[in-house]
Structure 1
Amino acid sequence: MPAFELTAEIRNSTDKGLAIFQGERHDVVDERTGEVFERDHFVWLPRKLTTIKREWRTPDGRRMAEIEIPEWLAKKKELI
């Protein structure tokens, strides 16, 4: 099974998954006010299919990692 490697910021982690952020932002509309604002877009990856190859902290404290996942999962999550 081919693997896909990526570098991303880990925004959150649980026993079952990792929320990663790669710098994408999306416009979101507040349904009550109609106001449009930008929100960070992150993707949840299942921990059982994720291998963290290397992890570090940036000078500003962000948790970064080199991550390996199956290629089919990267396509499904639209990472490639």
Structure 2
Amino acid sequence: MPVIEGQGPVPRPWARWALRWGAPSAVVALVSVWALEPDSLVGAIVAAGVALTALLVFVGTMPRRQSRAEQRARRGAGEGE
């Protein structure tokens, strides 16, 4: 994977997303099913609902891929403020 000057191998939006949304969502999804081990059908449905909600947050908050031109345009727009 080529590294662009001034940028590490992990782009900043992905690193911020991983710390803010990715890891907590994954932990909630795993804990709700594995650690709780529901004993009843209602408990299993609740645990599955919590896990699915965490998965939707995980996927829904992922940063979108941007072309280099879009990244430069966003940086240029922020400098005038």
Give the TM bin, normalised by the shorter chain.
under 0.3
What TM-score, normalized to structure 1?
0.24
- Computing the radius of gyration over CA atoms, which structure comes out larger, 1 or 2? 2
- Larger relative helix fraction: 2
